Structure 1
Amino acid sequence: MGDVLSQAEVESLMATMGGGAAAAGAQAGASAPSAGARPDARHDGGRPREKVTPYDFKRPERVGKEQMRALQTMHEGFGRNFGAALSSLLRNIVEVKLTSVDQLTYSEFVFSLENPTCFNLINAPPLEGQLILDINPSLLFPIIDRMLGGGSTVASAARRPLTEIELRLVSRITNLFLSEMRSAWKNVIELELAIDRVESNPQLVQIVPPNEVVVLVSFELAIGAVRGMMNLCLPFNTIERIGAKLSANSWVSYGKKPASAEAVQQLGNRIGSAAVEMVVELARTNISTHDLIGLRVGDIIDTEKDCKSPLLVVVEGRPKFEASPGAFKGRKAICITQPYEKQNVNVAKKG
């Protein structure tokens, strides 16, 4: 049969294949990098190696990195302000620290929570859908104990749903949270935040499909020896419409807006009622210590200042006005004539 190879032909073919493999091995050894070369500089078949990153289709990253950085920066400032406000409410030092801003599915978020817990559903018009604020019970019960006049001892956290009275007390915390969150988001969008309802079992609440992507913003609260977590859940379909406003550049530009007329007026009203110190300087002169000790009521001190020259009015240690002395309804008084100008005084001294 012509298709059957002889033994000599088979050995010749095997030798040819062995020689090619040896040549390929020699070529690979010749092209091997030196001891000082980087491993990522190797080439396979003339093309550089590419780093392969696994992609999990169950957890798609739908929120961009720039938007995640903007959310992180925004809530870092929120944490500082909320900690200060909560410290004032509880009359104790409260530290609020942003621990993470992550993307995960709604089912993963729900099953990571304790049961029972304080699961707050938040309406946030004009955003569509609802937000979620979860407060760990290990943090809530010590706060409630503190609000009811408890001491520095740590109260044990009971594994039970909150009572109606406890929910009323917790509403002061959540309302404070919403107020500070509204201020943190106002540079991006004006939110009308309000608690819709409070649930104890998070697994019974389905505001989005289980595989829907959510952004989880986690905070760690420390009140003395008590530590606990507070989680803010932002579903992707809720913040998808404002994704362009959440970019880092636009967020910074929003933060640099000039002060509004209402803000200036409000600041002026608060400063207008503040008390300041005002002193009128009649004259200046030098006397000896002996003359100072010997001063008595009715003594006259001579100065070189002309009686017709204006008096200097000093406000909070700074010269502000020039005035003339006089009397009003039988009391010593001054009449402000003009604002203080340092150049005029210097010219007068030189003259």
Structure 2
Amino acid sequence: MADVLSQNEVESLLSALDPSASSGGGTSRPSTRNNDFNSQISIYDFKRPERVSKEQMRAFRALHESFSREFGAALSGMLRSIIEVKLISVDQLTYSEFVFSLENPTCFNLLESETLDGHIILDISPSIIFPIIDRLLGGDGNSQGAYPNRALTEIEIRLVSRITGLAIEGIESAWSNLCDWKLRVSQVESNPQLVQIVPPNEVIVLISFEVTMGETRGIINLCIPFNTIEPLSNKLTSDTWSAYKKKSPDMRQQLNLEASVSKSKISLKVDLDNSKLTAGEVLNLAVGDVIMCNKGSAQSLTVELEGSPVFTAYPGVYKGHKAISIEKMLAIPKDIIEARVKNAEMAEA
């Protein structure tokens, strides 16, 4: 026959499972071990899995802060007005949460990439897109909070394509250090719920920007499904991405720089001798006096450019003018610059 537990034994078992459980006038002490176990539990929502790491989210923020500056400057130039584009949030959520958070109707642009599988979405809220259209058509762009509650017309979509074109250029420029997007608009919708690019529970990265034009404000959302950029996930780390990336030199800029530098004046100095005179000899010098040099005409001289020795040369006369004939190069200017940089870094250390 099985053993029967006493009342005290039953209360001890209950108190071990639930520290708050007690009966009668008895008291129970909470289990320290159980409290430690509960303190290590973290809530996890299986409907919103965290697939993007914090480091990758920081990379998204840095990349699109660069985009917001470039896009704001390009938009200001097109509209001939001061436009401010500011990154306000970078979040990860499900696609269904993103779609149901949008206005209807809205300006919902579906972008596809030639180099990556999948699509991304550029959504422009009506509160800013209609004032921008008004500005493009010659108005002041001041809607004062009133805008039509309707889908865009065909003419308006053509005008908006100029704005989305600038946004695409900015996105491609921001991501060019990691991938060549080669984006294009494949579809423009007014109802976001009609477009299903990924399953509703798929994780997306939502980057939101606030666009300010005078007193008018609106939101631009960039939705990037995680499965679209998953091949690049290993590059979204602090070791491989940079907001201020190195760009290939533009040919026009390079030629302009070369033309400007070639016209710059630099100091050229040639030391003929290091002879020494007394103060009395200097005071007694007069026009026509000859100072004897220690170096002969067959000995080479050092030519300095901006204080750095670069060439050796021989002294002489050319068409009645004192001149030098370059013998050889002592150092390449690039090596001189590297040496100066290294010396400056050592001095700071």
Q: TM-score, normalised by structure 2?
A: 0.66
Aligned pairs (5 A) from 1:127-206: 127-151=116-140, 153-154=142-143, 156-206=146-196
C-alpha distance in structure 2 between counterparts of 1:220 and 1:205, whole Å: 24
C-alpha distance in structure 2 between counterparts of 1:196 and 1:179, whole Å: 16
Q: Which amino acid aligns with 1:60?
A: P
Shift of 1:43: 2.9
Q: Does structure 1 residue 245 correspond to structure 2 residue 235?
A: yes
CA contact (8 A) 1:106 1:209 kept: yes
Classify 1:142/1:152 alpha carbon distance in 2 versus 1 (closer, same or farther; 3 Å). closer
Q: Which amino acid aligns with 2:162?
A: R
Q: Does structure 1 residue 63 correspond to structure 2 residue 52?
A: yes
Shift of 1:49: 4.8
C-alpha distance in structure 1 between counterparts of 2:141 and 2:107, whole Å: 23
Q: Does structure 1 residue 233 correspond to structure 2 residue 228?
A: no
Aligned equivalent of 1:108, options 79, 83, 97: 97
Q: Does structure 1 residue 224 correspond to structure 2 residue 210?
A: no
Shift of 1:149: 1.5
CA contact (8 A) 1:123 1:131 kept: yes
Classify 1:179/1:53 alpha carbon distance in 2 versus 1 (closer, same or farther; 3 Å). same
Aligned equivalent of 1:83, options 72, 91, 105: 72
| Secondary structure in 1 matching 2:240 | helix
| Secondary structure in 1 matching 2:70 | helix
Q: Which amino acid aligns with 2:175?
A: W
C-alpha distance in structure 2 between counterparts of 1:152 and 1:126, whole Å: 37
Q: Which amino acid aligns with 2:205?
A: V
Shift of 1:50: 2.3
Aligned equivalent of 2:204, options 191, 196, 214: 214
Deviations 1:303-332 (A, max 9, x none): xxxxxxxxxxxxxxxxxxxxxxxxxxxxxx
Classify 1:18/1:95 alpha carbon distance in 2 versus 1 (closer, same or farther; 3 Å). closer
Structure 1 unaligned residues grouped into runs of 5+: 6-12, 33-41, 281-334, 339-351
Aligned pairs (5 A) from 1:329-344: none
Classify 1:204/1:18 alpha carbon distance in 2 versus 1 (closer, same or farther; 3 Å). closer
Q: Does structure 1 residue 269 correspond to structure 2 residue 269?
A: no
Shift of 1:47: 5.0
Classify 1:17/1:82 alpha carbon distance in 2 versus 1 (closer, same or farther; 3 Å). closer
C-alpha distance in structure 2 between counterparts of 1:48 and 1:211, whole Å: 31
Aligned pairs (5 A) from 1:317-332: none
Shift of 1:143: 0.6
Deviations 1:100-132 (A, max 9, x none): 111111111111111111110101121101111
| Secondary structure in 2 matching 1:249 | coil
Q: How many matched pairs?
A: 283
CA contact (8 A) 2:131 2:141 kept: no
Shift of 1:147: 1.3
C-alpha distance in structure 2 between counterparts of 1:115 and 1:137, whole Å: 9
Aligned pairs (5 A) from 1:272-291: 272=258
Residue of structure 1 in register with 2:42 after alignment: 53
RMSD over aligned Cα, in angstroms? Answer: 4.5
Shift of 1:18: 9.3
Shift of 1:218: 0.7
Shift of 1:154: 2.7
| Secondary structure in 2 matching 1:179 | helix
Deviations 1:182-223 (A, max 9, x none): 110011111101111111111111111111111111111111
CA contact (8 A) 1:43 1:49 kept: no
Shift of 1:271: 2.5
Q: TM-score, normalised by structure 1?
A: 0.65
Q: Which amino acid aligns with 2:204?
A: V
Percent same amino acid among aligned pairs?
A: 50
Structure 2 unaligned residues grouped into runs of 5+: 16-21, 268-322, 327-349
| Secondary structure in 2 matching 1:154 | coil
